[in-house]
Amino acid sequence: MTPILFILVLLAVSVLAGFLGGLLGLGGGIVVVPALTLGLGINIRYAIGASIVSVIATSSGAAATYVRQRLANLRVAMLWEIATTSGAITGAFMAGVLPARFLYLLFGGLMTYSALAIFRKRRHTEHVIKPDRWADSLQLHSSYFDEATQTEHEYHVTRTKLGLFLMYLAGNVSGLLGIGSGALKVPAMDLAMGLPIKVSTATSNFMIGVTAAASAGVYFSRGDMDPFIAGPVAAGVLLGATLASLVLNRIAAQKLRYLFAIVLLFISLQMLYHGIFQ
């Protein structure tokens, strides 16, 4: 493959990754890492380094629109970012000593669990919310206008302490795998803390850029970022994420949830196969 063709392929893959990442709150890395490693044969450590850059690009491309549409909950994002940033730094240092096969298996296992949890979610459980003093005191509850149904939706945040713990774990995954941790943040917010799926994905998009930036310096200093790979990936992901921000609020919430689960399950199976048999 010639260098020009390689860059064009990277751009095409990255636009798709940015669109899915911006739409589902995954950060683009959920597509970038498997595409670079399984499709183009790039070492997983360089793929994760490029993915970290793509996560920052996804957040930059989509977050502003989500804030303007009131989909992203800024109070929730700022609180949980404390935990995810700490976790990202920890995970980035751990990635330097863990074997590549373990990273594949960890990636695949976490994605499989998240996909199955999303599939099990039922519509009628979305509004079963337990009172939470932290959420009340910090005024984390909010509302948003759903363009798909043309209605205003109020929601209440619950299990704030559990949320902080889960976000620290999600940050660890981000630092380890370069996936922006949205693959864990979104299920955690949707399933455990009572945020609607659209708010979960939008808030995740707002958060992932800061989380990724916390670990990017570690990857750069270790030499795991190749500009020849990271540059086209960042450009393509930024374009895709910007496009995604224009359509998220027009998609029905249940369809978005199922799309999220299908994407996670498909990629998790690929990564598990590579970790076991390659």
Residue recorded with tokens 């774990």: 169
Rounded mean pLDDT, 16-38: 76
Mean pLDDT for the chain overall: 80
Give residue-wise pLDDT tens across range 167-209. 898 888 767 765 656 767 787 787 778 888 889 888 888 887 7
Give residue-wise pLDDT tens across range 105-122. 877 887 787 777 767 655
Given this model, what pLDDT does residue 125 score?
47
Given this model, what pLDDT does residue 172 score?
82
Instruction: State the pTM of this model.
Output: 0.71
Contact 92, 221 (CB under 8 A): no
Give residue-wise pLDDT tens across range 89-110. 888 788 777 776 787 787 788 7
Give residue-wise pLDDT tens across range 125-175. 444 567 788 888 988 999 998 888 888 989 989 889 888 898 898 888 767
**Distance of alpha carbon 216 from alpha carbon 56, whole angstroms:** 9
What length is written for the chain?
278
233 Rama class: left (phi>0) / alpha (psi -120 to 50) / beta: alpha
| Pick from 206, 210, 185: nearest CA to 195 | 185
Residue extents of the structural domains in the chain: 3-277
Q: Which token pair is 273?
A: 């196969």
Amino acid type, 17:
A
Amino acid type, 80:
W
**pLDDT score of 42 more than 50:** yes
Contact 36, 216 (CB under 8 A): no
Rounded mean pLDDT, 249-274: 78
- H runs (alpha helix) in 188-252: 197-221, 227-245
Q: How many CB atoms lie within 10 A of CB 163?
A: 27
> Residue 6: helix, strand or coil by DSSP?
helix
Q: Is the dihedral of CA 18, 19, 22, 25 positive or negative?
A: negative
The DSSP output letter for 224 is: -
Give residue-wise pLDDT tens across range 76-86. 988 888 888 88
Residue recorded with tokens 């949830």: 257
Q: Which token pair is 129?
A: 């919310």
When mean pLDDT is compared over 24-28, 71-75, 86-90, the highest value belongs to 71-75
Dihedrals phi, psi of 76, to nearest 5 degrees: -65, -45
Between 276 and 257, name the one with better pLDDT. 276
Between 33 and 136, name the one with better pLDDT. 136
Amino acid type, 133:
R
